[in-house]
Amino acid sequence: MAYETFIPTVWNEHLNRELEPKLTLAKHTNRTYEGDVKQAGDSVRILNVGRPTIHEHTTDDKETLHTNLPAPEVVDNTSVTMYIKQVRDYNYYVGDIDEVQMKNDGKVFAAYQKETAVGLAEKIDKYIGQIVFPTAPIFVNNYADGTSKIIKVTAGSSKTGDSPEQNVLELLDDIVQKGRENNIPDSEKIYVAVSPQFEKYIRRALLELRTDNTEVIEGKEYLKYYNLRIEWTNYLKKIEAAGGKPAHEYITARTDRAVAFARPFTHSEAYRPEKGFADAIKGFTLFDAMVVRPKEIFNVLVTF
C-alpha cells in the first residue's frame, strides 16, 4: 500500500517545525519542564522558590558579624503539580500518499503540514487563552465597576461619574504600576494579550501622541509601552451580555515565567481506512499548561 512509504518521524519533525512559530499565547511561557514528560498522564512538580530574608548591618558589626548572624531560616517554598492531559488530534484523507509527497516538488504535502500546524496551534492557544489565563487574579482600579470588576475603555479622554470610562493608555499605566507593585522589575518584559479591538484602541491613542511604539520579537510585531509588549489574539475569553452586565472580554498581562507549558511530542501515522479507497493521516499532539506564578499574571475585564 502506498502509505507504507510514509515516514512518521519526518512528518512529525516537519509538523513541529511548522507548529512552533504559529503559537502565540504559548510562546511566552515557561517550558523548562517539557523534557520531563514522556506520555499522556505524566505530571511534573514545579517548585517556586521563596525569597529569603535580607538582614541589615553596618560596618561597625564586622568584628562580631560571625557571632551575630541570625540562625538559618527555612525559606517558604511552594510547589504545584501539572498533569499533562490535553490531546488534540487530526484524521483526514490525503489520496495516494506517494503521489501527494511528490506532487509539485512536495508543495502539496507541505501545504497539508502547514494547515495541520495552524489548526493545532489555534487549539493550543485557545486552551491557554480561555481556560488557563482566566484562572489568574482579576485586576481592578478606580474605573472598575464595583460588582462586575469591568472597566469601560476608550481611546479618548477618561471620564468619571455615573458612567466612567478610562483612556486605554491610562489603563496600561495602571497595568505597569500593578506589575511594579508585584515586584516585577522594569527590566522584565510583561506580555499583554488583547483582542484586535483593544489593540485598535491602543494604536488610535498612540497615533495622537505621534510615536512609533512597535517592536519585532522573533518575527512578530508587538506594540511597546514601557516594559509592556502587547500582542493581539482571537483566543482570549469573551463573555456575552447577561444579568445586567455588558458584553466584556479578558485581557491578560503576564511574564514569560507565569505560565508553565509543555508540549512534549506530536505523533502521526498513515493508514488505509477499511471503508475507503484512499490513504489517510491521523495523529495528535500532547500538551498542557497552568499558572505557576500567580503574582506575575493578572487579568483585566474590559468593555467598549
Residue 150: which of 276, 43, 250 has the closest Cα? 250
In a domain, 177, yes or no: yes
C-alpha cell at 128: 491557554
**Which has more pLDDT, 241 or 32?**
241
Regarding whether 233 and 150 lie in a shared domain, the answer is yes
Task: Give the number of other CB atoms < 10 A from CB of residue 73.
Answer: 9
Q: What is the mean pLDDT of residues 155-178?
A: 95
In a domain, 59, yes or no: no
In a domain, 63, yes or no: no
Regarding whether 185 and 91 lie in a shared domain, the answer is no
Say how far apart CA 122 and CA 117 lie, in whole Å: 9
Q: What is the pLDDT of residue 270?
A: 84
Regarding whether 128 and 148 lie in a shared domain, the answer is no
In a domain, 151, yes or no: yes
C-alpha cell at 292: 505557576
Q: What is the pLDDT of residue 131?
A: 98
Q: What is the mean pLDDT of residues 184-212?
A: 90
Regarding whether 19 and 107 lie in a shared domain, the answer is yes
Distances in Å between the Cα of 197 and the Cα atoms of 39, 168, 173, 233, 302 are: 39, 11, 19, 10, 11
Say how far apart CA 258 and CA 54 lie, in whole Å: 25
Please say if the pLDDT value at position 85 is more than 70: yes
pLDDT digits (tens, 9 = 90+) for 226-250: 999 999 999 999 999 999 899 999 9
Q: Is pTM beyond 0.85 here?
A: no
Regarding whether 245 and 203 lie in a shared domain, the answer is yes
The crossing angle, in degrees rounded to 10, of helices 196-209 and 168-181 is: 100
Q: What is the pLDDT of residue 68?
A: 67
Regarding whether 118 and 160 lie in a shared domain, the answer is no
Strand-by-strand arrangement of the 279-291 sheet: 86-95, 279-291, 259-271
Regarding whether 110 and 38 lie in a shared domain, the answer is yes
In a domain, 68, yes or no: no
Please say if the pLDDT value at position 208 is more than 80: no
Regarding whether 124 and 40 lie in a shared domain, the answer is yes
CATH number at residue 197: 3.30.1930
Please say if the pLDDT value at position 65 is more than 90: no
Regarding whether 111 and 42 lie in a shared domain, the answer is yes
Amino acid, single-letter form, for residue 182 = N
**Which has more pLDDT, 80 or 282?**
282
CATH number at residue 110: 3.30.2400
In a domain, 55, yes or no: no
In a domain, 54, yes or no: no
Regarding whether 277 and 233 lie in a shared domain, the answer is no
Domain span at 115: 2-49+76-133+265-289
Regarding whether 176 and 106 lie in a shared domain, the answer is no
pLDDT digits (tens, 9 = 90+) for 266-298: 888 888 888 777 888 899 998 999 999 999 999
In a domain, 65, yes or no: no
Q: What is the mean pLDDT of residues 69-75?
A: 69
Length of the chain measured in residues: 304
Please say if the pLDDT value at position 47 is more than 80: no
Predicted confidence band of residue 1 (pLDDT cuts 50, 70, 90): very low
Number of domains in the chain: 2
Q: What is the pLDDT of residue 274?
A: 82
Q: What is the pLDDT of residue 72?
A: 77
Regarding whether 99 and 35 lie in a shared domain, the answer is yes
